[in-house]
Amino acid sequence: MDEYTSPLTLYEARHLLRRTSFGAKPGEAEALAGRTAAEIVDVILAAATSAPLPKTPTWANDLIPPRSASSEVRAAFAQNNTAWRVELTVDWIQQMAKNRFRERLTLFWHDHFVTSYVDYLYSAWGYRYLNTLRTNAFGNFKDFVRLIGLDAAMLIYLDGNINNGNAPNENYARELMELFTMGPLNRDGIPNYTESDVQEIAKALSGWGLATLENWDVHFSYAAFDDGNKTFFGRTGEFGYDDVIDILFDERAEQIAYFMAKKLVTEFVYRDPNPALISAVSAALLSSNFEIKPALRVLLVSSAFFDSTVISAREKSPADLCIGHYVEMDIVPNDEQAEFVRRAIIPLDQTLLNPPNVAGWPGHRNWITTSTLAARWSTSDLIVRRYSEPDQILAFAESMTPTGSTSPAIDLALALAGHVLAVPLEWVEVAEIEEPFEGDLLNRPLPDWFLNGPAYQRNLVKIFLNGLPWYEWDLSIGGAADRIVQYLIRLSQFPEYQLM
């Protein structure tokens, strides 16, 4: 797969930021345009991998009250545990707006190595699970697989904690291969494993459990481990957990690389993945011994990533939609704003830390239905109208108005539309507004370039002005923030706003 070597256009720079960073801040894409994809991706990757990790919450080590504790103490812990889960999710949403690519990738891994707080229940385990995803997001995939299987949230979710050598539980062994590493079939349709492999690997994974009254850690019990011989992938031995991971990556390296390459390409490029790009990303995983960062770089600098049929061809997830609003306005959500996002995306079919099943969210076109589209419009309306402060709206508009503009109403209206809509403005179907511009156009004529330009520009500006003479617009006039809010809401209702 060839590298895309042409300097990025503004449109292409916005595409890169939408796919990796929930969108572009004001002026961000403009600063990147003219540079190559390789230059920009290296900067994005360096920033994502060097960003400081969030502080460990104070409650992360608070243990479950002992059985001897009073009912009041136990009830208080249960109530706090619910509040801590909300706090954890709110903080994650804020992290998404701050450390954007790292958290965008963390969200991908959450959808890959799925667990649900409904099963593991305790927020301390939710924090540890999220921290495992975040700290390994750009690291080594083999190490990641080794760690995630011994994460308490995963042990509980897929019954690893009840996988006893005397009665092996096959859930994690099956999903380890089917969903987490290589899938049931290779690229030629040949099975990657057998039922016997699942059964034997389950035995080798036995013995791990939890001691929740003592600490939040995972423990190994030799008494619960099957110490006999197991045979899988043509090997026989008294294998344990680490052996499974080593043998899996030794014997099925090509299948794992292909499966994960396809999943990364599907996530960050297009739902119908480019075969040549899959091969290139797979080769990068193999040549680097499964380092994730080099594989991502190959993907993000490829010509396939910048293909015209790929740009603006993905549907935003609810998280992409809501976080994108704040990123576009250069706002890191405060607690109230982030809590609204946490609640708002639930009826849009995305509950953070609680995907619907082990396969994760269906995604792509499934995000937008006749029932969710109206809810998405309503959510965008509330984010801009109620959960953004007037001074934040005005600061955003000021940053989007060219310095020294002689026609700020026109420049701002077009700049905002170009900033938030995922396709070139000439592609957007803007309804014709027959009413003329208001005001004294004889003495204060509109610019010739604007009058003689495309109709969509005039119609967008009319939507923004909403009857106000163009020359009266200024950020200091009464109701300026409300006018910007109304315009942003209208832009969010264009079909193109749902794309990325």
Quote the pLDDT of residue 22.
98
Q: Rounded to an integer, what distance in angstroms lies between the CA atom of residue 193 and that of residue 191?
A: 6
- Looking at the DSSP bridge assignments, the partners of residue 499 are 315
Alpha carbon 318 to chain centroid, angstroms: 10
Token reading at 362: 């269906």
Q: Rounded to an integer, what distance in angstroms lies between the CA atom of residue 98 and that of residue 135?
A: 16
Q: Rounded to an integer, what distance in angstroms lies between the CA atom of residue 483 and that of residue 272?
A: 40
End-to-end CA distance of the chain: 23
Q: What is the pLDDT of residues 29-83, one digit of tens each?
A: 999 999 999 999 999 999 999 999 999 999 999 999 999 999 999 999 999 999 9
Quote the pLDDT of residue 1.
79
Residue 404 has pLDDT above 80, yes or no: yes
| Average pLDDT of every residue of the chain | 97
Quote the pLDDT of residue 212.
75
Smallest CA-to-CA distance from 53 within 153, 136, 141 is with: 136
Residue 386 has pLDDT above 80, yes or no: yes
Q: What is the pLDDT of residues 221-266, one digit of tens each?
A: 999 999 999 999 999 999 999 999 999 999 999 999 999 999 999 9
Q: What percent of the chain has pLDDT over 90?
A: 99
Other CB atoms within 10 A of residue 89 CB: 23
pTM of the model: 0.97
Residue 500 has pLDDT above 80, yes or no: yes
**What number is the average pLDDT over the span 289-318?**
98
Quote the pLDDT of residue 213.
74
* Residue 112 main-chain phi, psi, to 5 deg: -100, -60
Q: What is the pLDDT of residues 325-382, one digit of tens each?
A: 999 999 999 999 999 999 999 999 999 999 999 999 999 999 999 999 999 999 999 9
Helix (H, G, I), strand (E, B), or coil: what is residue 7?
coil
Residue 440 has pLDDT above 80, yes or no: yes
409 falls in which pLDDT band (50, 70, 90)?
Answer: very high
Residue 475 has pLDDT above 80, yes or no: yes
203 falls in which pLDDT band (50, 70, 90)?
Answer: very high
Smallest CA-to-CA distance from 144 within 202, 105, 117 is with: 105
Q: What is the pLDDT of residues 147-191, one digit of tens each?
A: 999 999 999 999 999 999 999 999 999 999 999 999 999 999 999
- 8 Å CB contact between 49 and 102: yes
**What number is the average pLDDT over the span 264-274?**
96
Q: Rounded to an integer, what distance in angstroms lies between the CA atom of residue 358 and that of residue 175?
A: 8
The label of the residue with tokens 């619910």 reads 82
- In three-state form (DSSP H/G/I as H, E/B as E, the rest C), the secondary structure along 292-360 is HHHHHHHHHCECCCCCCCCCCCCECCHHHHHHHHHHHCCCCCCHHHHHHHHHHCCCCCCCCCCCCCCCC
- 8 Å CB contact between 420 and 491: yes
Close Cβ partners of 88 (under 8 Å, ≥ 6 residues apart): 57, 123, 126, 127, 130, 353
Q: What percent of the chain has pLDDT over 70?
A: 100
Token reading at 211: 């001691």
Region of residue 403 (left: phi > 0; alpha: psi -120 to 50; beta: else):
beta
The label of the residue with tokens 């740009």 reads 311
Q: What is the pLDDT of residues 179-200, one digit of tens each?
A: 999 999 999 999 999 999 999 9
